């Protein structure tokens, strides 16, 4: 009877799964604390799921009640402030771990075969997480929430023919209303479970190809040890430090990462002086805002995310070890610096020179994705791996993507050249012509002003002399 119950509850399966994929999981010996952030991201995803579910029990998706409902959770519900601050700040910590995890995988070229599927699933998790975070940002229904929803949903209007109709369908009316909020609420509730399924698949792929390591090479089984108890100590130590930082933030400074305008109820008639998204959206917001043409801004923002998915197909690199390539190290650090500066441009006011700098950085980001990284990898292969015969299988696999890479590279170069000519060459010529016309108008106005001034001055001088002559004559007679 007990054995039947264990089979029904899948206890034997769970026990074997934990033993095989956790306790006895073969792990490279040379892993550092840099490999902790994947598990830490999973922890904060669990925190978001639990706190989010508890908050849904008290939230009402109505534009008339949403803001007051959040205030009621904070003030009237027992430990409601704790749930709300854990959920809002937990999103920030989740993205901190996600960004560091992506930087680690990118730096050690984990997007290459045989980990390309693992990389793609991770990027999809990142994109879905951004969607869930945006929807959650709208739900408090403050000023930033309302205007973020307005700005992002209006991007759909760039679609030809049916863009406006699609926006009205998303809104559930001809403006943002309670239907919009309830739809965002439903999607925000569903997306975390989709993300959880993708995380399970991500772990499945990880356990198929095995963990990478600092040298990024394939280690034999003798170079690996069990995850428990050796590496779980590192995970627990990193977990303890991050949890202490998390508790310190939501206990003593819970509004540090929030915008003050979002504590004002949403008002469609009052536009904030400066619309700023959450910090983890700043770089993409800067790209969208710096490209003055809305369509091209959306394309650039999409390519900045899509470029991560395309990396396995446009980079052909047999030597997958950045530790032996100073060029790759410089390129990776340059990309990180560009992303950080884009985030700074996203929080700056949309005035010159921030717009111009953001536009240059957006172009530089795509140039690194689609031009510099593929060229540097091909150059490195030609120099280092020209006569190596041990990578025949890898070369055969990567040759399958040759035509795809050429097509992607050609399309990107064509698009970039067209946009460069349209935005800069033609734009500069138009600006010069308009400036010359403006200068001519200014000169004409200046000449007219001088003539009027001269005429007024001569009239005043004549009146002055005539007045003096009359007064002198009267004095002389008297």
CATH numbers and ranges of domains, the chain: 21-275 (1.20.810.10), 291-385+394-433 (no CATH)
| pLDDT value of residue 351 | 87
| pLDDT value of residue 475 | 40
Q: What is the mean pLDDT of residues 357-371?
A: 91
Q: What is the mean pLDDT of residues 344-358?
A: 90
Of 3 and 51, the structure prediction assigns the larger pLDDT to 51
Residues 6+ positions from 428 with CB-CB distance below 8 Å: none
Compute the mean pLDDT over every residue in the chain, rounded to the nearest whole number: 81
Task: pLDDT band for 341, please (50, 70, 90 cuts).
Answer: very high
Query: Active site residue: 223, 234, 334, 405, which one?
Result: 234
Of 454 and 189, the structure prediction assigns the larger pLDDT to 189
Flag whether pLDDT at 388 surpasses 80.
no
> Is 235 among the residues known to form the active site?
yes
- Highest averaged pLDDT of the listed ranges 175-179, 388-392, 424-428, 430-434: 175-179
Flag whether pLDDT at 392 surpasses 60.
no
Query: Active site residue: 120, 121, 258, 278, which one?
Result: 278
55-59, 174-178, 375-379, 461-465: which range is least confident on average? 461-465
Flag whether pLDDT at 221 surpasses 60.
no
| pLDDT value of residue 476 | 38
> Is 234 among the residues known to form the active site?
yes
Of 441 and 350, the structure prediction assigns the larger pLDDT to 350
Query: Active site residue: 145, 212, 235, 261, which one?
Result: 235
> Is 278 among the residues known to form the active site?
yes
| pLDDT value of residue 131 | 96
Flag whether pLDDT at 387 surpasses 60.
no
DSSP 284-345: HHHHHHHSSSHHHHHHHHHHHHHHHHHHHHH---S---GGG-HHHHHHHHHHHHHHHHHHHH
108-112, 152-156, 159-163, 389-393: which range is least confident on average? 389-393
Q: CA neighbours within 13 Å on the CB side: how many for 123?
A: 21
What does the block give as tokens for 458? 């001569």
Query: Active site residue: 104, 207, 224, 405, which one?
Result: 207
Q: What is the mean pLDDT of residues 330-355?
A: 91
- Rounded CA gap, 434 and 476, in Å? 62
């Amino acid at each position: 009877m007990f054995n039947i119950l264990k089979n029904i509850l899948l206890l034997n399966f769970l026990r074997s799964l934990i033993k095989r994929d956790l306790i006895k999981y073969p792990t490279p010996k040379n892993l550092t604390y840099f490999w902790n952030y994947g598990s830490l991201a999973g922890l904060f995803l669990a925190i978001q799921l639990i706190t989010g579910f508890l908050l849904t029990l008290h939230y009402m998706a109505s534009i008339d009640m949403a803001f007051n409902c959040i205030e009621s959770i904070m003030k009237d519900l027992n430990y409601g402030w704790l749930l709300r601050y854990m959920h809002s700040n937990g999103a920030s910590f989740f993205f901190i771990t996600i960004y560091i995890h992506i930087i680690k995988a990118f730096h050690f070229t984990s997007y290459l075969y045989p980990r390309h599927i693992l990389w793609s699933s991770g990027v999809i998790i990142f994109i879905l997480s951004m969607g869930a975070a945006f929807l959650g940002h709208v739900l408090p229904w403050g000023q930033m929430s309302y205007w973020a929803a307005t700005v992002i949903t209006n991007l759909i209007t760039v679609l030809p023919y049916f863009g406006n109709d699609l926006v009205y369908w998303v809104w559930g009316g001809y403006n943002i209303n309670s239907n919009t909020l309830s739809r965002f609420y439903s999607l925000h509730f569903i997306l975390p479970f989709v993300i959880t399924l993708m995380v399970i698949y991500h772990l499945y792929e990880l356990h198929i190809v095995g963990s990478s390591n600092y040298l990024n090479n394939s280690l034999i089984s003798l170079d690996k040890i069990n995850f428990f108890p050796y590496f779980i100590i590192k995970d627990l130590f990193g977990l303890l430090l991050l949890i202490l930082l998390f508790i310190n933030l939501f206990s003593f400074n819970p509004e540090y990462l929030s915008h003050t305008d979002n504590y004002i109820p949403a008002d469609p008639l009052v536009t904030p002086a400066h619309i700023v998204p959450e910090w983890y959206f700043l770089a993409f917001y800067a790209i969208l805002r710096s490209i003055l043409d809305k369509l091209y801004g959306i394309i650039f923002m999409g390519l900045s995310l899509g470029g991560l998915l395309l990396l396995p197909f446009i980079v052909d690199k047999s030597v997958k070890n950045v530790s032996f390539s100073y060029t790759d190290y410089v390129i990776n650090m340059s990309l990180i610096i560009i992303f950080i500066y884009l985030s700074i441009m996203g929080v700056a006011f949309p005035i010159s020179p921030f717009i111009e700098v953001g536009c240059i950085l957006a172009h530089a980001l795509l140039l690194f994705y689609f031009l510099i990284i593929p060229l540097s990898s091909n150059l490195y292969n030609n120099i280092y791996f020209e006569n190596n015969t041990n990578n025949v299988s890898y070369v055969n696999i990567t040759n399958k993507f040759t035509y795809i890479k050429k097509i992607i590279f050609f399309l990107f170069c064509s698009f970039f050249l067209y946009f460069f000519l349209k935005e800069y060459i033609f734009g500069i010529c138009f600006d010069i012509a308009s400036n010359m016309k403006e200068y001519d108008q200014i000169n004409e106005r200046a000449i007219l002003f001088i003539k009027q001034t001269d005429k007024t001055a001569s009239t005043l001088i004549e009146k002055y002399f005539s007045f003096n002559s009359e007064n002198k004559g009267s004095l002389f007679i008297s």
